Structure 1
Amino acid sequence: MPTISVQDKHLTVLNLFTTDTPGKQESLIQEMTKIVNAATYEGWMSSTVHAGVDSPGTANFIQWRSGEDLEKRYSGEEFKHRTLPVFGEITTSIRLLQNEVVHTLTADGPDTDVVICPNRDNHTVITVHTVAAADQDELIDALGPGQAGIADAPGFRAHIVLRGLRARGLQGPFVVSYSQWDSKQAYDAHRDLPQEQWPQGRHKAHARIRAAATATDSNTYQVVLTRAAGEE
């Protein structure tokens, strides 16, 4: 099963697809499952497919050995002439985001490894923040170390911050946050907690994030499939 670590220095690709009906979401998952189960690409390490909860769509959290390996996949005939056209027919947007993991947090503390797999039944929140280039480091710090207090929130499991490197379908610099909770109810309670009940650290982090990010886009997910290289 995939393990997310700051120390590993893998290229992490987050492919985000939106669509407009639950039926099309199921079609997306079926197509992604075919690709993941048949994957033998050079340099491909793992893929974890997520199904949208709050809005129809999918996310694929992929680990690659290097950017060069990924570009070989993107330049291949299968990707250009089958994969992208098939997804284009059933999606309303496609964002292919290349990232590096720069911060992790679990109940055991910062810079700890995070596991993503279906059998943990995580309620997953993925948020894409666009940002001016000059403010990217500030946003990373606000979303990562600045939110250390989130580990005390009931139901919190893990938090990952990824620095955006390059993208297809998204303009300009970006930062991605990926959080795991033990249930939708726990996450909703944290999200909707009245501001007068927030701990001081959350006020400061929220203000820094609002000042640095130019826009945010978020959805919630459940992991439905994980496969790593070498697995049947």
Structure 2
Amino acid sequence: MPTVSVDAKHLTVLNLFTTDAPEKQDSLIQEMTKIVNAATYEGWMSSTVHAGVESPGTANFIQWRSGEDLEKRYAGEEFKHRTLPVFGEITTSIRLLQNEVVWTLTSEGPNTDLTICPKRGNYTVITIYKVDASNQDELIDALGPGQAGMQDAPGFRGHIVLKGLRARGLDGSFVVSYQQWENKEIYDGHVALAEEKWPEGRKKAQARIDAVALDVDSNTYEVVLTRAAGDE
């Protein structure tokens, strides 16, 4: 079962695929399942596949030992001549994001470990924030420590903030927010809560985010498959 930790210092890769039809999402998940179940790549540690809920698409949350190991995978003949062409046929966009985990939050407090697996039944929200490089640290602080009060929100389970390092399919600097909630209804209620009812910390954090974020792209997911190196 993959564990996400600030202290682990792994390279975290988030591969995001969008498509234009639910049946193509099913095809994406089938192809990703084949890859994850057969994975034996040097330095690969875990993969967790997510199915899009609000919009068709998939997300694969992958932990690698290092960037060098990932680049070996990208340079391989299988990735270049089979994996990318297959995904290219059934997607409308492909973004391969390399990140560093810089903040975690659970009901137990900040910088606590999170697990990602289908058994928990989390409703997952992944948001990509484009930002000027000079404001990346400010955005990280606003999304992370600035929103520490989120742990008291009903139905909240976990939050990971990832610092974007480099990407394929996405230009410029970015930050990723990965949130876990008990279910869709609770998350929708959190989003729909009238601003005048927000805690003061949420208001201040959102104002900081709005001041520096250049673009915001979000989708919701359910976890459908996870596998780690060494699993049978």
Query: Do these two structures clear the TM 0.5 threshold for a shared fold by scoring above it?
Result: yes
Partner of 2:12: 12
**Which letter does structure 1 place at the counterpart of 2:41?**
Y
Deviation at 1:63, TM superposition (A): 0.1
- Per-residue displacement from partner, 1:124-170 (whole Å, max 9, x unpaired)? 00000000000000000000000011111110000000000000000
- Per-residue displacement from partner, 1:174-213 (whole Å, max 9, x unpaired)? 0000000000001000011010111111110000001111
Q: Secondary structure at the match of 1:187?
A: helix
Count of residue correspondences: 232
Q: Secondary structure at the match of 2:179?
A: strand
**Which letter does structure 1 place at the counterpart of 2:50?**
H
Q: In the TM superposition, what are the counterparts of 1:73-152 in structure 2 within 5 Å?
A: 73-152=73-152
| CA distance in structure 1 between the partners assigned to 2:202 and 2:118 by the alignment | 30
Mapped pair 1:27 → 2:27: yes
Partner of 2:230: 230
Partner of 1:173: 173
**Which letter does structure 1 place at the counterpart of 2:199?**
P
Q: Secondary structure at the match of 2:196?
A: helix
| CA distance in structure 2 between the partners assigned to 1:102 and 1:10 by the alignment | 11
Partner of 1:202: 202
**Which letter does structure 2 place at the counterpart of 1:30?**
Q
| CA distance in structure 1 between the partners assigned to 2:192 and 2:168 by the alignment | 32
**TM-score for the superposition, normalised by structure 1:** 1.00
Q: Secondary structure at the match of 1:50?
A: strand
Q: Secondary structure at the match of 2:135?
A: helix
- Per-residue displacement from partner, 1:98-117 (whole Å, max 9, x unpaired)? 00000000000000000000
Q: Could you list the runs of 5+ residues in structure 2 that have no partner in the other structure?
A: none
| CA distance in structure 2 between the partners assigned to 1:186 and 1:2 by the alignment | 25
| Percent identity (aligned) | 78
RMSD between superposed Cα atoms in Å: 0.3
| CA distance in structure 2 between the partners assigned to 1:209 and 1:203 by the alignment | 10
Q: Structure 1 stretches (4+) deviating beyond 4 angstroms? A: none
